[in-house]
């Protein structure tokens, strides 16, 4: 029993989910390529967002694998980290899928930073190393 608990603690915890913003796609037989440093060369359009929550013990490679697994289930051909997406593309499909009461600006709210850094913070501006990481990836389908 102790070994099982130790393995669980060492493996870390994570979760993922999908937020649709466009026409859904059929699940894919191939995992999507995950872009965290640059955008893909081919044009694509977003059909939703894959969000991953992970504790700090989870490696960057595991976060990408978790995102890719969720993206494959949702029919993504490509996943692009949110910070790489132009602002205009973030809202293109969103306006069609949300009721107008949701589409209101909010004052003073800080956007989530993503980018693989721990969320949370202290007065000194440094991230809390024990806080869960929140990552968002645009789920895209290549333009044909």
Helix (H) or strand (E) holding 62: helix 60-73
Residue 44 phi, psi (nearest 5)? -145, 165
Which of 77-86, 99-108, 126-135 bottoms out in mean pLDDT, i.e. has the lowest? Answer: 99-108
User: What tokens does 1 get?
Assistant: 């029993």
Give first-to-last CA distance, the chain, whole Å.
53
pLDDT in tens, 4-41: 333 344 456 889 999 999 888 999 999 999 999 999 99
Q: What is the pLDDT of residue 137?
A: 96
Residue showing tokens 């069609």: 96
Output the pTM of the full model.
Answer: 0.64
Nearest partner of 52 among 24, 77, 71, judged by Cα: 71
Overall number of domains in the chain: 1
The more confident residue out of 50 and 89 is 50
**Closest by alpha carbon to 63, among 113, 117, 26, 112?**
117
Q: Which residue has the higher pLDDT, 109 or 28?
A: 28
pLDDT, averaged across the chain:
74
User: Is residue 80's pLDDT more than 50?
Assistant: yes
Note down the domain range covering 88. 12-100+113-120+128-142
Split at pLDDT 50, 70, 90, the class of 103 is very low
Identify whether 3 is part of a domain: no
Question: Is the predicted pLDDT of residue 51 greater than 50, yes or no?
Answer: yes
Measured CA to CA, the distance from residue 144 to residue 12 in angstroms comes to 39
């Amino acid at each position: 029993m102790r070994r099982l608990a130790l393995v669980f603690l060492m493996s870390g915890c994570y979760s993922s989910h999908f937020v649709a913003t466009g026409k859904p796609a059929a699940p894919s037989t191939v995992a999507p390529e995950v872009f965290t440093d640059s955008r893909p060369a081919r044009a694509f359009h977003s059909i939703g967002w894959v969000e991953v929550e992970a504790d700090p013990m989870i490696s960057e490679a595991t976060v990408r694998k978790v995102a890719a697994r969720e993206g494959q289930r949702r029919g993504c051909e490509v996943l692009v980290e949110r910070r790489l997406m132009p602002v205009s593309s973030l809202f293109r499909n969103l306006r069609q899928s949300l009721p107008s009461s949701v589409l209101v600006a909010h004052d003073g709210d800080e956007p989530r930073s993503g980018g693989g850094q721990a969320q949370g913070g202290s007065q000194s501006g440094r991230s809390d190393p024990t806080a869960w990481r929140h990552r968002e990836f645009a789920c895209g389908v290549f333009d044909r």
